[in-house]
Amino acid sequence: MSVGRRGFSLIELLMVLSMIGLLAAFAIPRINVARMKSDGAARLVRMLVMNAQRTSITRQSNTIISFDLANSRMRIVEDYNNNDTLNTTDRVYWRALPEGVRFLTPPMVRVIGGSASSALQGSDLRTVSSFLSMTFRRDGSASSDVDLYFSARADVENEFRAMTISPSTGRTDLYRWTGTAWARMTQ
């Protein structure tokens, strides 16, 4: 009567672990954590902006998005009385960019062309409580066109990301710098 084998020998386990280690050694240097942070920040900012737009439509009240460029965070205000100012009765919350990602002025051309003078560009941005701001109206439209730029590392151009907001529809688009031009990111 033959006895069936059960389990693995120590040598077999060591061989499998060493092969996994070799594969990991080849794969890990190819992972660009800073680029992944920039992509994650782009998606986070887009999600926050889209949620603010959705809130303004469903609650039928304006939503103000303010950009704290110095501290790389956003303030979202649900403006219940639609007076485009910050009141004590309005719901306010802050959201910071992921650790290491900052709003930065891009060294390259803007998404729409021309040179950038700031990390935040727009034709009709207003100042609300000392922060540059835009507002989503009750119909979902934005008060200004917006170009917003951020990156995990200022000295690496390929890690810059941009988000644009269209004023008439409030549509948001994400872009990444390829080294020669802005390319639209897949949503």
pLDDT band at 186 (very low <50, low <70, confident <90, very high): confident
Q: What is the pLDDT of residues 102-117, one digit of tens each?
A: 999 999 999 988 888 9
Q: Using the predicted structure, report yes or no on whether residue 29 has a pLDDT greater than 80.
A: no
Once rounded to an integer, what is the mean pLDDT over residues 38-42? 91
Q: Could you give all domains of the chain from N- to C-terminal order, each with its CATH number?
A: 34-184 (3.55.40.10)
| Average per-residue pLDDT for the chain | 90
Distance (Å, whole) CA 56 – CA 174: 21
Q: What is the pTM of this model?
A: 0.81
